[in-house]
Amino acid sequence: MANTSPLAIRKEGGRLFTALGAPVYRLVHPLTVGSDRLGVSMCEMAPGDEVRRHSHDYEEAYYVVEGTGVMTLEGEGEIRLEPDLAVYVPPGRVHGQRNDGDGPLRILCSLSPPPVEGDPPRFAEDVG
């Protein structure tokens, strides 16, 4: 039976955001389900993909659903990403990740408040 609720959304119904270097599907977002204090996205990275190091004023939580990789998080260094790991990213901290595995890296991201459509994150200069 098909879901007909305007509050339920599948990945293909999300808003694709590609400015970070890997596909991010904005699922729970003001322009998808009408949320105003919460965003939920799925980041899907192929082997070798990188999300550019960036920062933003909202807080974010990552949950690794599948795959492996490395996250850099300002003040913490490198964090090994693996299934069932959650990582909290405080507002303003520079962060990014790379899929160093042989298969897809899928990360569920929760953001509060949700990002504003058309307002890009602040990209950090690549320092090494």
Residue 128 pLDDT greater than 80, yes or no: no
Domains and CATH numbers, the chain: 24-115 (2.60.120.10)
Residue 56 pLDDT greater than 90, yes or no: yes
The per-residue pLDDT for range 74-101, each reduced to its tens digit, is 999 999 999 999 999 999 999 999 999 9
Q: What is the 3-state secondary structure (H, E, C) of the chain?
A: CCCCCCCCCCHHHCEEECCCCCCEEEEECCCCCCCCCCEEEEEEECCCCEEEEEECCCEEEEEEEECCEEEEECCCEEEEECCCCEEEECCCCCEEEECCCCCCEEEEEEEECCCCCCCCCEECCCCC
Query: How many angstroms separate the CA atoms of 102 and 46, rounded?
Result: 8
Residues 97/51, Cβ–Cβ less than 8 Å? yes
Whole-structure pTM value:
0.92
